[in-house]
Structure 1
Amino acid sequence: MARWKELPGGMDPVVVEFIGQLRRLKDDSGLSLPRLAARTGYSASSWERYLSGRLMPPKAAVEALAAVTGTDPARLMALHETAADSWQRDRPRSDAGEERGVPDRDSVGDHGASGPEPLPMTVAAGPVQRPVTRPMLYLTAAASALAGAAIAVAVLTAVHSQIPTASPRTAAVARPIAYACKDVRKDGAWYAGNSDTSSDTLEVDMSGPEVAELQCLLQRAGISPGGVDGNFGPLTEAAVIGAQKRYHLDVDGQVGPRTWAALRG
């Protein structure tokens, strides 16, 4: 199980509970971050930010995690909605800047009282001619920019209110494959119908029909791998170690030709 770092101080308890639940699901699944990324369609770096409390995961990512781990999504999605609302109100400034691409304050120039000399500008008509300084120009330009931005926001808000809301992004992950054990004796060896390999090396965090075949053979031998889901997690590893002890093999938790031969024999 991963040793997680403490979450940032001052975080809302609802957010802490939600992220803790995500961490437990990830740990219980036995998946590494790269494997989790491959199964959910979200990158390993994104999951690192979600699980470290640096970024609130989107709804689709949470739904994908629930599907991959076989978790009922109802309570998890309700907790996500409450945590997302709290995050929106109280999230740290550093996260807000990271999402919007806001430049650091130190990277923006700032003219003080000893800035450039006033820039003279002659008024075309009228009895009074007075110089206009650069600070005044900066203030006028800033005010114009803010006014323009406010108008743009108002227009976009009005347009957006008339556009139907797009449905959440569906995670690019197929539903977990349902494997079955159809034990058949052929040429003096047992087969479960998922793979006929007797030499492929399997280890923790791998997945696929070969792992499902292994789990079926372990189950047939009376050593429970915790289910047949095609994922080589901690329970499957413990079952492999138990089989290697029973058959007096080298105990390393990995499956090679000798372990295959013992389970198929």
Structure 2
Amino acid sequence: MSRWKQLPDTLDEHTRQLVVQLRRLKDRSGLSLVSLGRKTAYSRSSWERYLNGKALPPRQAVEQLARLGGTDPTRLLVLHELAEAAGRRTAVAPATGSTGAEAGPAGDGAAGDSPAEDGTARAAPVPHPDGPEGPLPGPGPDPARAPEAAGRRRLRVPVVAGLAVAAVAAGTALLVAAPWEDGDTPAAPGAAGSSTPAEPSARAHDGPFVYEPGRTYRCDVRRENGLLGAGHSATRDAVLQDSTTGWDVVEAQCLLKHHGFSPGGIDGIYGDLTARAVKRIQDERGLVVDGKVGPHTWGVLRG
């Protein structure tokens, strides 16, 4: 087991959790940083930065380490989304207090984005909207209205900055809360109060399951041909366990909720809350309590 350095105190909680999980995967794989550099698209020095909290790893780096550690990357990618959101929120706060762009040295990024060592891209500087030589000429201000206009400008800057920060904070809060929410009506994708209809009962599913952070699905449980179903999957024997994802999981979560055993958000991820709900219904119905959904548990869920 590696002896890791203490992570910086400045890391937000989501980034800290992500790095801790990545460190565990690296230790489990038995690979050195040099070996990681050879088996992935990222160098030894890049992995040193990622695993010591000096830089947020790219999404592809997280996926590659998960594969090397023999684990499903879904949970790690959720943490990565939350860490990215926290980073954007931190970046917006000082940016909103700025009154103008700072010009860098000529030629820095002038040819467009250039890839960094860890595979990410550096954004090219944005030119001044009025051209390189300053604002375009136009009619001068009305001296009589100058004080009034100046007052409006001073008021507008803090108001716009405050709205931007509030919007980012609200969006991040929804991202954190939504996947684990347990309400009577699952959140539909889209803004609150939107007239957009909820996710259709998946009798209309026409493609593979793709996990989307914050998205939950509607449970339209009904009995057909003597069996209960929510329309997301017709399986009666699929084996579901920790870290499984897919429409079968959505179906099981809907049926658990219908029987009064809350699995948390109906999000298609077989996590701790879903496993606990499965154990409770197994215990109540006299099944082997292993927290996994197999043919016997499906029989109870659809009965």
Normalization by structure 2: what TM-score?
A: 0.44
When you count helix as a share of all residues, which structure comes out higher? 1
Bigger Rg, structure 1 or 2: 1
The one of the two structures with greater contact order (alpha-carbon pairs below 8 A, sep at least 6) is 1
